[in-house]
Structure 1
C-alpha cells in the first residue's frame, strides 16, 4: 500500500503529491519520493548507489527464498508466523496504514493488541506524525493516551517532531494537544536545520498557532 502522505527524501517536505523514482517503483516495488525535479536531480548520484544495493539485496533474497522452500520441504509440518508489526514494501505496518487512513478505532484496537505505535515507516513517519499532518485530534489523543511515554518526541530523519509538523500545517488544536503532552522541551526542539516549531508556523503564515 502506498502511503497517502509522502516525505521528500532530500528536503523533508511532506505532501500528498510527490514525484517518484521510476526504477524503484517498477523494478523494486518501492516508493522513493521527491517534491521537485531539483531535489531529484541533486539526489541522483547518491540514489544510483541505492539501486546497486537493492539489486544485491534482491539477489540475496532470492537465494534465501529458495533455501526457505527447501528447508520447508525438509521440515514438513513445522509452522511459521509473521509478526503483527511486519511491514509491507513501503515500511507500513497495520497500525501505520490505519493511521494513514484516519481509522482511529483500528489504531486503538491494534495498540491494545500490542502493536507498537512508535514504529515508523520507511520515510521515518510514525502514526503520530500522520495524525499531526492531518490535524486529526482524535487520532493524536488516542496515540498519546495509549502509546508509550515519549511518543511525542519521535522525530523524522530530518528531526521533525509531530508538533513541528502540526505547526507547519497550521493545525492549532493538535499542536496544543501535543504541546501539553510534551511540555517546554518539545516546544523548544528544532529540526536538523535549526528550524523551531515557531519558525515552522511563521513560515507557513499560521499566526494563530
Structure 2
C-alpha cells in the first residue's frame, strides 16, 4: 500500500542560522532537522533537487525514509516542509526520527471508489468534507491513502470513518465520534424527474 522507502544522503550542519541557510541554498542544498525519539535534534543539509522531486512524486509525508548522516542511517518520517511560494523549491524540512515500533500521526488522503454504483450516477454530487484524515499509524505501516467505497450510497447519505477499513494498528485521531468524510447531496438544480419536460 505505501510507497517504497528511499534513502537520502545528508551532511551534518555545524552552523545554523539565516546566513548559513542562504549559503546552503546557493549551493543547491537545503537545511533540515531530524528530531524526536527523545534524542537531541540533528541539523543537516540535503540536496534540494532530490527532496523537491520526492515532494512532487507524492506520498512524501506518508513514506518513511532513511537519512545517512556521517555514516549513521536514521529512519525518519517527514513532518513538515516549506516550499518557496515563488520559485517552487524546498526551503526547509523537519523529519521525525522513527523506529519500527514508533507510532506517528499522519494526514492521509482519502480516495473514493465505485461512484458509478451510487447516486452520483443519477446526478448526485459527492460533497467531500475531509480530503485527508488524521490517523495514528505504526511508522512502518502508514497507508498511502484510505479508500471510501460509495457502492449503494444514496442522496442524503453521509459516509463516516466507520465505513473505512483501516489497516491493522491504524486508528483515527478523532475517537469521540464517527466523523463524516463525505456526503452525497442533490445537485443544486434538483434531480430531473422521470418524464419531466425539459425546460
TM-score by length of 2: 0.25
More RCO (CA 8 Å, sep 6+)? 2
Greater C-alpha Rg: 2
